[in-house]
Structure 1
């Protein structure tokens, strides 16, 4: 695992920015929002981090002008390996031609410096939602969840879940391999954004385990003590 991966979170973002004041501003703000943030201060390091962890990053933030390799070059190299991960350019270049050039290089969005953190956060969340909608089937082991059909099967046998159980399982599967913090689960699955007794999560976790797990075998949903829950990636 990269030395830059410092915190556990449901969502992971790579920031490639050579100006410390800007990268610190982005990292501190995103970590407060519950994201894990990796930072690279030059182009070559940024590309290496990106290629080493492409399946883990939910969004990549790229400065245009970087030492070692430009953001444009990084973006093009990433797109050769991954067509899905959202990429946002952060740059002082602001002509129409610059915007078009950046987007045609493979970026999904473009934010002109200086920018507010609220704008950046909103753009990130929009792209993550768009990226999530591209997948409608999620799986772990013998469990398959189909969003379009609203079904959950185990070894092709359908399992009946309540609406909230289905939403909770979907959230875990969308974040397979990542730790899902209890506070984020309440926000994302229950849409509650204030101090709330999240012990209700335990009730639904126990119910899901009874319906999904096999006697004598490890649970599909693992408890990460003091943090939350996760579904491990398939071996």
Structure 2
């Protein structure tokens, strides 16, 4: 999952990014509202974790902007503003959830996953033959047996199966799986495809992912 944290506290923003990356997510960090809008315009995020009291452009304005139009990301407001009126206004502006600081990290992570599942619920199960991918549980199964995938391998499989029949370029997959500060090159996608193919082969599906030379990867429809 690709996340954007919008938080002007350097310590909190850093700690959240480290924890979420450790849990397998691609995470960008914006320290003000203007930077948040620039990130949101450049990348497709699953969820924004948004503070409200921000320099340059406040969180209310960021919320309104990112929720305009179709295909907008989920937004979890994370704020020290604890009045009912603030929560009501944020929800009315399109926020999907609201968590008051201070907070427990486990609760924050659970709420992020819940917000992301609301989008996934439109197509809860992805299938290709004996393979079933459940975006809500973030699990892949073949003939009912769960595949032991790393978070990046799972994200790659979900991306390919979610756009089955469409060839996805290496760069597009890299952008989905890795944040803007990553030191890796998009060649890491080749390694992930290789390890994912090996696990699929051991589970009985050795030819699921095809390579289209010069174009990218695809799971045929």
TM-score (norm 2): 0.65
Q: State the Cα distance separating 1:161 from its structure 2 match.
A: 3.5
The alignment status of 1:210 with 2:200, answered yes or no, reads: no
Instruction: Report what 1:60 is aligned to.
Output: 48
Q: 1:37 to 1:218 in 2, by over 3 A?
A: same
Give the count of matched residue pairs. Answer: 174
Q: State the Cα distance separating 1:34 from its structure 2 match.
A: 1.2
**For each residue in 1:166-217, what CA deviation from the matched residue of structure 2 results, as whole angstroms up to 9, or x when unmatched?**
8875564349744699xxxxxxxxxxxxxxxxx8961524754535648xx5
Q: How does 1:74-153 map to 2 (within 5 A)?
A: 74-135=62-123, 147=126, 152=128
* Structure showing greater Rg: 1
Q: Which runs of 5+ in 2 are unaligned?
A: 133-140, 147-153, 178-194
1-structure distance, mates of 2:7, 2:42: 18
Deviating more after overlay: 80-89 vs 109-118? 80-89
What RMSD, in angstroms, separates the aligned Cα atoms of the two structures?
3.4
2-structure distance, mates of 1:100, 1:107: 9
Q: Which runs of 5+ in 1 are unaligned?
A: 1-10, 137-145, 153-159, 182-198, 223-230
Q: State the Cα distance separating 1:90 from its structure 2 match.
A: 0.8
Contact 1:84 1:131 in 2 (8 A): no
Q: State the Cα distance separating 1:35 from its structure 2 match.
A: 1.1
1-structure distance, mates of 2:205, 2:62: 42
Contact 1:62 1:88 in 2 (8 A): yes
TM-score (norm 1): 0.62
The alignment status of 1:37 with 2:34, answered yes or no, reads: no
Contact 1:16 1:61 in 2 (8 A): yes
